[in-house]
Structure 1
């Protein structure tokens, strides 16, 4: 069965970027430390990246994150979702208007202008089609940014929450949680590597 998984890196003080994020500084000041685990060559970290990519049938991201991905300092052959892996999922962007062009044109992009719920439904359809083709269950991954994941949690769209807890205190930036609808989480797994603690929860409805 296709599940909707929110997956994001977060600091010990609850931020998904450092202070002053912007077009040329997408992760904010010091925010690169949040993703050390994703670029690590340590076997445990590589396994987590590999397994997450392998079960991704479609990926949802918000427009602000897409603009960073699409920008001059964005994704390339070495940096990006599954960049070092053999398979790449479909990408679904929540936006008010599609861009005129896309720089990472080798990836499968769909732009949804009718809201987050429709974007998740579109991604679910893509993931279910990919599951049928692969002969195994693949998931929808909400990779961010923080506002997109908060909205999805508040709307009850998320089945599973995975947090990559980085050993850094940023002191400010974009918070993952800032009020919103209370949710009950059931802890499923805790994996500790040299660069992060990887926490997975079932999300109560």
Structure 2
């Protein structure tokens, strides 16, 4: 069964970017430390990245994050979703206004203007139709930004929450949760590495 997985790196004080994020500084001041694990030589970090991206049938992101990854200082052949660990899943962008052009034309982009729930539905359809080399169902990954993941969580759209807890305190930035309604989680796994603590929860 295709699951909706919110997968995001977060600081010890609950931020998914540092202060002052923007098009030329997507993760904000100090925010790069959140993703040290994704470029680590630690075999457990590498396994988690590989397994996480391998299950991606479609990826949902918000317009702000799209503008960063598609911008001139965004993704390229060496830095991008999975960084070579996965094929090219479909990408679904939640936006009120689709861009007039796309730099990363080798990726499969869909722009949904009717809200997050419709974007998740479109991504689920793409994931269910995507071929899987392992023979297992592929999942929808909510990669962010923080507002998109937080809104999906609040709306009850998330089946699994996968957090990569970085050993850094940013002080301010983009919070993952802002006054969310109480929600019960069931802890499924904890993996501690030299660069992060990887936590997986089922969302009830």
TM-score scaled by length of structure 1 = 0.96
The residue matched to 1:190 in structure 2 has which SS? Answer: strand
Unaligned runs of 5+ in 2: none
Matches within 5 A, 1:63-78: 63-78=63-78
SS in 1 for 2:82: coil
2:36 aligned with 1:36 = yes
CA shift, 1:135, in A, is 3.0
Corresponding position: 1:135 with 2:117: no
The equivalent residue for 2:27 is 27
- SS of 1:7 mapped into structure 2: strand
CA distance in 1, matches of 2:155, 2:178: 15
C-alpha distance in structure 1 between counterparts of 2:104 and 2:134, whole Å: 24
Q: CA deviation at 1:104?
A: 1.1
Conserved 8 A contact 1:166-1:197: yes
8 Å CA contact 1:60, 1:119 repeated in 2: yes
CA-CA distance at 1:40 after TM superposition:
1.3
Shift of 1:43: 1.5
1:55-80 CA-to-partner distances (Å, cap 9, x unmatched) read 00000000000000011110011111
Gaps of 5+ in 1: none
CA contact (8 A) 1:8 1:144 kept: yes
**3-state SS, counterpart of residue 111 of structure 2:** strand
Residues 134 and 122 (structure 1 numbering): CA distance in 2 closer, same or farther, change over 3 Å?
Answer: farther
Alpha-carbon distance between aligned partners in 2 of 1:36 and 1:91, rounded to the nearest angstrom: 24
User: d(CA) in 1 for partners of 2:163 and 2:48?
Assistant: 12
Instruction: Please report how far the alpha carbon of residue 41 of structure 1 lies from its aligned counterpart in structure 2 after TM superposition.
Output: 2.4
Q: Distance in 1 between matches of 2:43 and 2:23?
A: 32
Q: Rate the CA distance shift 1:158–1:108 in 2: closer, same or farther, 3 A.
A: same
SS of the residue 1:179 aligns to: coil
Range 78-87 or range 46-55, more displaced? 78-87
Deviation string 1:63-104 (CA, Å, 9 cap, x unpaired) is 000000011110011111022224121100000111111111
Q: Deviations over 1:116-142 (max 9, x none)?
A: 000000000000001578632100000
Aligned-partner SS, 1:73? coil
Q: TM-score, normalised by structure 2?
A: 0.97
Give every structure 1 segment of 4 or more consecutive aligned residues whose post-TM-superposition deviation is greater than 6 Å.
Answer: none
Aligned to 1:49: 49
**Structure 1 vs Structure 2 CA RMSD:** 1.2
Does structure 2 retain, via aligned residues, the 8 Å contact 1:76–1:83?
no
Answer whether contact 2:53 2:86 (CA < 8 A) is retained: no
What is the aligned partner in structure 2 of residue 8 from structure 1? 8
